[in-house]
Amino acid sequence: MHILRGHEGAVYSVQFSADCKTVLTTGNDNIARMWHAASGKELLALRGHEDWVNSAQFSADGKTVLTASLDKTARLWDATTGKEWRTFCGHEKSVTSAQFSADGRTVLTASYDKTARLWDVASGKELRTLRATARSFPPMARPC
């Protein structure tokens, strides 16, 4: 068992790579970190976000990392070098999560601005914006 030491505050998400050799964490220190699962050694610190990093995930092939942040962006990183190579900008509020499509060609982001946005990975262009509609829900029962 290892304690992964490096984040300077709360840790928000954690994920294994598909081969279970690498662990990916995010936190309120504005950094996503990659760790060697067997040794607990930090491999990379993905620096560039200007606010807390809410979530991160590996692409299916493990070559790319996708992060989502309170800085209103999602970013793509090279999982080998840690170099940022794409930023998805357009949300008006914090990006709460981001996901790769199964084929890795598109990214879907969700935000507190009540939108989900679909992005082309190759060009970085926004393909579509999905907006929440106002709906009335019945009041929820209060728990005991």
Owner of token pair 């790319």: 64
Residues 40 and 6 sit within 8 Å (Cβ to Cβ): no
Residue 122 resides in a domain: yes
CB-based contacts of 105, cutoff 8 Å, min separation 6: 120, 121, 122
CATH number of the domain enclosing 51: 2.130.10.10
Number of domains in the chain: 1
What is the token pair recorded at 23? 């662990």
The pLDDT value given to residue 15 = 92
Q: From first to last of the 144 residues of the chain, give the pLDDT tens digit.
A: 667 677 777 778 889 999 999 999 998 999 999 999 999 999 999 999 999 999 999 999 999 999 999 999 999 999 999 999 999 999 999 999 999 999 999 999 999 999 999 999 999 999 999 997 766 555 655 554
Q: Which residues pair with 97 in a beta bridge?
A: 110
Per the domain annotation, does 2 fall within a domain? no
Domain membership flag for residue 81: yes
Residue 120 is part of which domain span? 11-131
Cα dihedral 4→44→65→124 (10° resolution): 140
